[in-house]
Amino acid sequence: MEQRRFSGNSHLYHETQCTLTAPTAPLVPEAAEIGDRFLLGLDALCGAEVKSHLDRIEPALLASRDLYQLLFPRHVDTSMTHTLTLYDRLSAALTVAQVTGIQRLCNHYAARLNPLAGPDPSRESNLRLTQMTEYARQLASQPALITPVALRRLDEVGLTVPDIITYNQITGFISYQARVVAGINALLALPVRWFPGLAEPEDATAECFNPVTQWQPLLPPVELRYASASQLEVLTWCQPQPEFSDCAWLLAHDAATLHGWGTLINILRENASTQEGALAAAVAARINGSAACLWRYRNERLRDALRQSVSQALAIASPSEQAVIQAAAQLTRTPERFSATHLQPLNNAGLTDRVAFDVILQVALANWSNRLIQTLGTASGNDEQPH
């Protein structure tokens, strides 16, 4: 995306993220008003075969569009406990979109952000936006490097616990959206842009993946005595489900998004759940450093190899498993480079386009879930496999 520089502290940001008024319009202003806020017009390019896959997961697409409206409404009311403005939310979205390199997302979020008034030009506001932008960029690129210190810095610049939960959900959602869009681009065999000199982010280290028996939140969860009716309702719904048993009380600080995220997980489990998709999600968890997510994968042979490295898993995998691992790794590490070339080995291994689409969806969803579970809590355990 084109970058411009202005005087003052605005040189730290994209032109739509600075606190000064830029004399230019966004590069693609019409992208702000596109009808489908999730696929961002990509469905119009789809032929009959890809449209059939989209029709099959229409409930998931509807849930994704609902989540977009929750996270990026037309207007946001702030309070003492919920301080994120619409500018904050869209600024984070643009930052993550730029990290993923998906131009369609960059155009949309830049166009929505452009007309909004930025924060006041005080030192405190500039420090707050700088810290938030750095956090979003790190979480989008290498979530394994996010530490409790990074969360504490958000607190120090004035973000509340509900703010931090919503901010992580925004980063996760854009990470998911970018990989769905990149995957559909590949199914359509659309060309990808190549940016020479950009290094791939490193995978998480093997030390992150000791067996997990418990996940503990790093921030205070919702307390029962203070829980609102909407929080209690979503907790009653999601608490019995294994995926949410540990994290639900923390994520309930943003009850509406927790419900939307949980609904999406359940829909994709019903409509896009294959053994290839499960392997792809495990590969994403390995790269992103989410031990709790990796240990949900039940294939012990591949899981134990993945604990060491993606390369180790490739060394023992069957040809079809190798194709899944390679595609999942590429889509997780560099979605902007993901193309039809990376899907072809799946077809060569005898896997259908439906399975390939399921791999894309599970990688995309895992890249959201990993960024919540990895950064908002700690996974603990012992040297024995959990039961």
Give the pLDDT of residue 34: 85
Mean pLDDT of 131-142: 98
- Per DSSP, what are the bridge partners of residue 379? 215
- Per DSSP, what are the bridge partners of residue 378? 216
Check pLDDT > 60 for residue 100. Answer: yes
For the chain, domains (ranges, CATH) are 13-187 (1.20.1290.10), 206-380 (1.20.1290.10)
Mean pLDDT of 106-128: 94
Instruction: Dig out the tokens for 344 from the structure.
Output: 């072809």
Q: How does residue 379 score in pLDDT terms, banded at 50, 70 and 90?
A: confident
Give the pLDDT of residue 25: 61
User: Residue 152: CA atoms inside 13 Å, Cβ hemisphere, count?
Assistant: 3
121-to-128, 134, 274 alpha-carbon distances in Å: 11, 18, 51
The burial class, CB within 10 Å (0-12 / 13-18 / 19+), for 27 is middle
11-to-18, 83, 87, 111 alpha-carbon distances in Å: 8, 25, 18, 19
Check pLDDT > 80 for residue 5. Answer: no
List, for residues 11-30, the tens digit of each pLDDT value. Answer: 444 545 555 444 456 668 77
Q: What is the 3-state secondary structure (H, E, C) of 282-328?
A: HHHHHHHCCHHHHCCCCCHHHHHHHHHCHHHHHHHCCHHHHHHHHHH
User: CA-CA distance, 289 to 142, in Å (whole number)?
Assistant: 9
191-to-50, 182, 363, 381 alpha-carbon distances in Å: 17, 11, 21, 45
Which residues 6+ apart lie within 8 Å of 72 measured at CB? Answer: 37, 86, 89, 90, 93, 112
- Per DSSP, what are the bridge partners of residue 380? 214
Check pLDDT > 50 for residue 9. Answer: no
Give the pLDDT of residue 18: 52
Check pLDDT > 50 for residue 52. Answer: yes
User: CA-CA distance, 316 to 322, in Å (whole number)?
Assistant: 9
66-to-70, 134, 167, 190 alpha-carbon distances in Å: 6, 27, 17, 27
pTM for the full model?
0.91
Check pLDDT > 50 for residue 387. Answer: no
Mean pLDDT of 312-338: 97
Distance separating the N- and C-terminal Cα atoms of the chain: 48
